[in-house]
Amino acid sequence: MNTTSILLSGAAAAAMAAALAGGLVLAVPERPAGDAAAVPPAETVRIAPGTLLFPEPGAFLRDGRPVAQPRRSLRLAAPLEIMRHQVSVGAYRRCVAAGACSPADLPRDAAPDLPVTGVSHIDAEAYAAWYSRQTGRTWRLPSAAEWAHAAGTRFVGDLWDGAGDADNPASAWLARYRAEGTTGAPAAPPQPRGRFGANEKGVVDLAGNVWEWTSTCYRRVTLVGEAETRATLENCGVRIAEGRHRAYMSRFIRDGKSGGCAVGTPPEHLGFRLVREPGPLARFALLWGRLTGAQAEEPAV
Amino acid sequence: MVTRREAMMSAGLAALVAALPAMPASAQQAAEIAALPREKVKLVPPPFVHAHDQVARGGPKVVEFTMTIQEKPMVIDDIGTTVHAMTYDGSVPGPLMVVHEGDYVELTLVNPASNELPHNIDFHAATGALGGGELTLINPGEQVTLRFKATRSGTFVYHCAPGGPMIPWHVVSGMSGAIMILPRDGLKDETGKPVRYDRVYYVGENDFYVPRDADGNFKSYASLGESYADTMEVMRGLVPTHVVFNGAVGALTGDNALKSAVGETVLIVHSQANRDSRPHLIGGHGDHVWEEGKFANPPAKDLETWFIRGGSAGAALYTFLQPGIYAYVNHNLIEAVELGATAHFVVDGEWNEDLMSQVEAPRPIATN
Ligand SMILES: [Cu+2]
Distance CA A147, CA A52 (A): 11
pTM of the model: 0.80
Of B251, B325, B363, the CB nearest to A222: B363
Is the model more confident about A172 or about A193? A193
pLDDT tens digits, A13-25 = 333 333 333 333 3
How far apart are the CA of B249 and the nearest CA of chain A, in angstroms? 8
Rounded to the nearest 5 percent, the helix, strand and coil shares of chain B are: 15, 35, 50
**pLDDT band, very low/low/confident/very high, at A194 (cuts 50, 70, 90):** very high
Query: Are the C-beta atoms of B301 and B190 separated by less than 8 Å?
Result: yes
The DSSP secondary-structure symbol of A141 reads P
Query: Chain B contacts of A168, Cβ < 8 Å?
Result: 323, 350-351
In order of their start, the domains of chain A are 12-292 (3.90.1580)
- Residue B122 dihedral angles phi and psi, to the nearest 5°: -115, 110
CA dihedral over B42, B110, B181, B12, signed as positive or negative: positive
How far apart are the CA of B62 and the nearest CA of chain A, in angstroms? 38
pLDDT tens digits, B45-91 = 999 999 999 999 999 999 999 999 999 999 999 888 999 999 999 99
Of B250, B325, B350, the CB nearest to A168: B350
Choose the weakest-confidence range: A90-94, B22-26, B98-102.
B22-26
Identify the three-state secondary structure at position B142.
strand
The DSSP secondary-structure symbol of A154 reads G
Q: What average pLDDT does chain A have?
A: 79
Distance CA A188, CA B304 (A): 37
pLDDT for A297: 40
Q: Evaluate if residue A282 carries a pLDDT over 90.
A: no
Quickly list DSSP for B267-317.
EEEEEESSS-B-EEETT--EEEEESS--TTSPPEEEESB--B-TTEEEEEE
Q: Report yes or no: B261 at the A interface, CB cutoff 8 Å.
A: no
**Average pLDDT score over residue span B151-175:** 96
Q: Report yes or no: A65 at the B interface, CB cutoff 8 Å.
A: yes
Q: Which helix (H) or strand (E) holds A66?
A: strand A65-67
How far apart are the CA of A224 and the nearest CA of chain B, in angstroms? 13
Identify the three-state secondary structure at position B103.
coil
Q: Evaluate if residue A299 carries a pLDDT over 90.
A: no
Distance CA B38, CA B59 (A): 11
**Average pLDDT score over residue span A94-100:** 96
How far apart are the CA of B23 and the nearest CA of chain A, in angstroms? 58
Identify the three-state secondary structure at position A247.
strand
Q: Report yes or no: B16 at the A interface, CB cutoff 8 Å.
A: no
* Contact: B346, A222; criterion CB under 8 Å: no
Rounded to the nearest 5 percent, the helix, strand and coil shares of chain A are: 30, 25, 50
Cα distances from B345 to residues B55, B128, B159, B253, B332, in angstroms, run: 26, 39, 27, 8, 19
* Contact: A220, B217; criterion CB under 8 Å: no
Identify the three-state secondary structure at position A63.
coil
Predicted ipTM beyond 0.85: no
Of A167, A187, A189, the CB nearest to B351: A167
Closest C-alpha to B61, from B41, B89, B88: B41
Looking from the CA of A102 toward its CB, the CA atoms found within 13 Å total 14
* Contact: B78, A170; criterion CB under 8 Å: no
pLDDT tens digits, B104-146 = 999 999 999 999 999 999 999 999 999 999 999 999 999 999 9
By annotation, the residues of B acting in catalysis are 119, 122, 124, 159-160, 170, 175, 280, 304-305, 331
**Average pLDDT score over residue span B183-193:** 97
Cα A241-A243-A248 angle, rounded to 5 deg: 30
Q: Max alpha carbon distance in chain B (Å)?
A: 98
The DSSP secondary-structure symbol of A142 reads P
How far is ligand 1, taken at its centre, from the CA of residue B203, in Å? Answer: 20
**Which of A160, A191, A220, A257 is best to mutate for the B interface (most B CBs within 10 A)?**
A257
